[in-house]
Amino acid sequence: MAKKRISTATLFFIFISFIALCAIVPVFAPLPSISSRQHHHAHHSHSKKVNKKFEIANDMFWKDGEPFRIIGGDLHYFRVHPEYWEDRLLKAKALGLNTIQTYVPWNLHEPAPEKLVFEGIANIESFLNLCHKLDLLVMVRPGPYICAEWDWGGIPSWLFSRNPTPKPRSSDPAFLKLVERWWGKLLPKLVPLLYDNGGPIIMVQIENEYGSYGDDKAYLHHLITLARGHLGQDAILYTTDGGSRENLEKGTIRGDTVFSAVDFTTGDDPWPIFKLQKEFNAPGKSPPLSSEFYTGWLTHWGEKNAKTDADSTAAALEEILRKNGSAVLYMAHGGSNFGFYNGANTGANEADYKPDLTSYDYDAPIREAGDVDNSKFNAIRRVISRYSSAPLPSIPSYNEKTTYGPIHLQRRSSLFDIFDFTNSSSSFESENPMSMENVGQFFGFLLYVTDYEARRGGRNLSIPKVHDRAQVFISCSSKGRGTRPTYVGTVERWLNKKLSLPEYQCHSKINLYILVENMGRVNYGPFIFDRKGILSSVYLDGNRVQGWKMFPIPLHNLNEVPNYNRIMQASYSAFGEISTSRKRLMNKSENTSKEPAFYSGHFLIDKTSQVKDTFLSFRNWGKGVVFVNDFNLGRYWPLRGPQCNLYVPAPVLKQGDNFVVIFELESPDPNLLVHSVDEPDYTCGFNGMNIHQL
């Protein structure tokens, strides 16, 4: 999606614009009369009713020989639990939508080279067939780059482990070869689902807002050739670009090969942009389409939760629909960034790093947990109902939320207890720090370990380039394995600073531990080449530190089968006695330390009828990631905010015991409690942080 914001001034004057535009002669003709429809049929030699045909002619969309207006919305299958796909799609229909638009994230479907996944939340065919069953058309956006506030815009991070690294979003032969292999598996699955073949897919997008990034026409032409080779010559391909001449010049393919759609800031006058759009389409082939009409906005950690005005949003949509324009709501339903797949943005440079929340609520009309009892849903539905050719379906019943009370957890193991630092079999060794991708740790965390000579006085530690957040600890080798590492500070990508290491009484070398978190790869802009880990040398008092061990921390990601390695065993040690490298009493002081540790607990649901949606509140916790019944819900960070609570879909839960595992990086709740609550909460954090409110 384009990184644009709704202008407050523009929204303030939306009604003035509306009145003024009523007096302007429309650029595009209204939907045709019966006689003009007959002219269209004669022009195309259609003497009988067309059977399953979607096409573009006379600057309109035509479905089975009848004029058609796309009133669509983005709803991403990979951000919604599969058991809730139908619920969310029915609510989209009740909103008045006739079309669903979805991205396809390459990295979810190919998490490792040639390891293809099309099951579970990645079962795109099931999702598309469900759309078809519910009489919803589909616009598919297979990338290979998708943006979407998704890790690296959907490009697999294992590309970074290749030497040399292919250059994404370019005609680099190494990159194109990988795209050919990926699309060679994906696109054939779409062929029987194309509208002309009896399925729901009316259009397939090429790349995503490429004009905002580059101008490699050879790359775009190669993607078009590749798509045509799989989908056939009749499939409608389209591009989406920001509604400026520069973006359209760089991101579109002139002529009738590919249909060029536009997006723009909600509240902007759409019709001059639609007029510009016509210049980049063949004559008669430019139905006005905003393929990303923004219903809300994204939120980064440390910002105030983004909100947009319901009535202004609905009025801006009506400005498109009242003159026969088409629009796709971005988003109709946002969902959640489960697992480690959230993306990030940057500002003026790559150090100005802004990771996205776990929630992708987006202030959309259908909220993260599927709620539609809100002013934005109602305002948009009222507008759409005025332009719908049939009465809108009734609104599905409310998904009940519940609370399961406080969940008591126990501290199971320190992260440092899990590793045998004298055993090299579980680590990678190198003179200089290696990136996460180069050790195969594509998401989550990597622990870097080295040592340095003890001496009188403190030391200054410098890590010029760390992506994204490094917690630093030291311990004394000579004091034996019972010595706890001491936390000395955190180095953050966006506030990179030197750390002062305290004087440490030690008769041998001092161990240095640096735990680095990958908080999500940049998905938009010039700094998307976002490797993770320590990406520079590390310096003590200006001298380079050499001789490193890298220990991967294998926590499973979304849609991955849990790997019950030693780390996961330690996490579940509450439910079966296991040994750790040290057995000792867990005292209260450990619960308030800044030592990363695993905590686990469980709660009981007596009856199947009591299994309902809930939220886990992390107020009084620090920062970490949580798993419920082995499902990776994502990250929490209430200290930074604004998100306090993580959404738990009912299908993740079950009758009987439900297990919670938390990897807390800093300081847990002193009472080791997590509360199950029945509503979201975006009021955490903000202390000293930049606030962004639309």
Tell me what the mean pLDDT of segment 598-627 comes to: 98
Question: What pLDDT is recorded for position 421?
Answer: 84
Catalytic residues, which ones? Answer: 209, 292
CB-count exposure of residue 217 (10 Å: 0-12, 13-18, 19+): middle
Question: What pLDDT is recorded for position 581?
Answer: 40
DSSP assignments along 590-653, one per residue: HHTSS--EEEEEEEEE-SGGG--BEEEE-TT--SEEEEETTEEEEEE-TTT-S--EEEE-GGG-
Residues with Cβ < 8 Å from 328, sequence gap 6 or more? 70, 72, 73, 74, 99, 101, 139, 289, 290, 291, 292, 293
Banded model confidence at residue 384, pLDDT cuts 50, 70, 90: very high
DSSP conformation class of 572: T
Q: Rounded to an integer, what distance in angstroms lies between the CA atom of residue 262 and that of residue 272?
A: 12
Handedness of CA 26, 27, 28, 29 (dihedral sign): positive
* Token representation of residue 221: 């032409």
Question: What pLDDT is recorded for position 132?
Answer: 98
Query: What DSSP element (H or E) covers 272?
Result: helix 270-279
Pairwise pLDDT comparison (42 vs 255), residue with the higher score? 255
Q: Residue 642, preceding bond cis, omega within 30 degrees?
A: yes
Pairwise pLDDT comparison (458 vs 385), residue with the higher score? 385
Question: What pLDDT is recorded for position 477?
Answer: 78
Pairwise pLDDT comparison (449 vs 561), residue with the higher score? 449
Q: Rounded to an integer, what distance in angstroms lies between the CA atom of residue 642 and that of residue 305?
A: 6
Q: Rounded to an integer, what distance in angstroms lies between the CA atom of residue 558 and that of residue 634?
A: 9
Pairwise pLDDT comparison (368 vs 48), residue with the higher score? 368
Q: Rounded to an integer, what distance in angstroms lies between the CA atom of residue 73 and that of residue 139?
A: 9
353-366 pLDDT, tens digit each: 999 999 999 999 99
Tell me what the mean pLDDT of segment 9-25 comes to: 35
DSSP bridge pairs for 466: 534
Q: Rounded to an integer, what distance in angstroms lies between the CA atom of residue 149 and that of residue 357?
A: 10
Residues with Cβ < 8 Å from 258, sequence gap 6 or more? 206, 224, 237, 238, 239, 252
Question: What pLDDT is recorded for position 200?
Answer: 98
Question: What pLDDT is recorded for position 631?
Answer: 97
504-533 pLDDT, tens digit each: 888 889 999 999 999 999 999 999 999 999
Find the largest Cα–Cα distance for the chain.
95
Tell me what the mean pLDDT of segment 576-597 comes to: 54
Question: What pLDDT is recorded for position 480?
Answer: 60
Tell me what the mean pLDDT of segment 596-609 comes to: 97
Alpha-helical regions (H) of 364-441? 375-387, 415-418
Of the given ranges (388-397, 581-590, 662-671), which has the lowest mean pLDDT? 581-590
* Token representation of residue 206: 């090429």
Q: Please report the domains of the chain, with CATH numbers, ordered by start residue.
A: 8-31+69-295+304-333+369-387 (3.20.20.80), 405-411+570-677 (2.60.120.260), 414-555 (2.60.120.260)
Is the predicted pLDDT of residue 14 greater than 50, yes or no?
A: no
120-149 pLDDT, tens digit each: 999 999 999 999 999 999 999 999 999 999
Is the predicted pLDDT of residue 694 greater than 60, yes or no?
A: no
Half-sphere CA count of 263, side-chain side, radius 13 A:
26
Question: What pLDDT is recorded for position 41?
Answer: 39
Banded model confidence at residue 1, pLDDT cuts 50, 70, 90: low
Tell me what the mean pLDDT of segment 422-439 comes to: 93
Residues with Cβ < 8 Å from 592, sequence gap 6 or more? 667, 668, 670
Q: In one letter, which amino acid is 284?
A: G
Residue 505 backbone phi and psi in degrees, to 5: -75, 105
Question: What pLDDT is recorded for position 627?
Answer: 98
Q: Residue 630, preceding bond cis, omega within 30 degrees?
A: no
DSSP conformation class of 342: B
Query: What DSSP element (H or E) covers 178?
Result: helix 173-190
Question: What pLDDT is recorded for position 420?
Answer: 85
Question: What pLDDT is recorded for position 573?
Answer: 60
Which pTM was predicted?
A: 0.90
Of the given ranges (17-21, 307-311, 498-502, 624-628), which has the lowest mean pLDDT? 17-21
Question: What pLDDT is recorded for position 483?
Answer: 75
Question: What pLDDT is recorded for position 455?
Answer: 87
Q: Rounded to an integer, what distance in angstroms lies between the CA atom of residue 150 and that of residue 130?
A: 24
Of the given ranges (5-9, 215-219, 591-595), which has the lowest mean pLDDT? 5-9
62-76 pLDDT, tens digit each: 999 999 999 999 999
Pairwise pLDDT comparison (221 vs 692), residue with the higher score? 221
CB 465 within 8 A of CB 492: no
Question: What pLDDT is recorded for position 482?
Answer: 55
How much is the mean pLDDT over the chain? 89
Is the predicted pLDDT of residue 390 greater than 80, yes or no?
A: yes
Q: Rounded to an integer, what distance in angstroms lies between the CA atom of residue 143 and that of residue 186?
A: 11
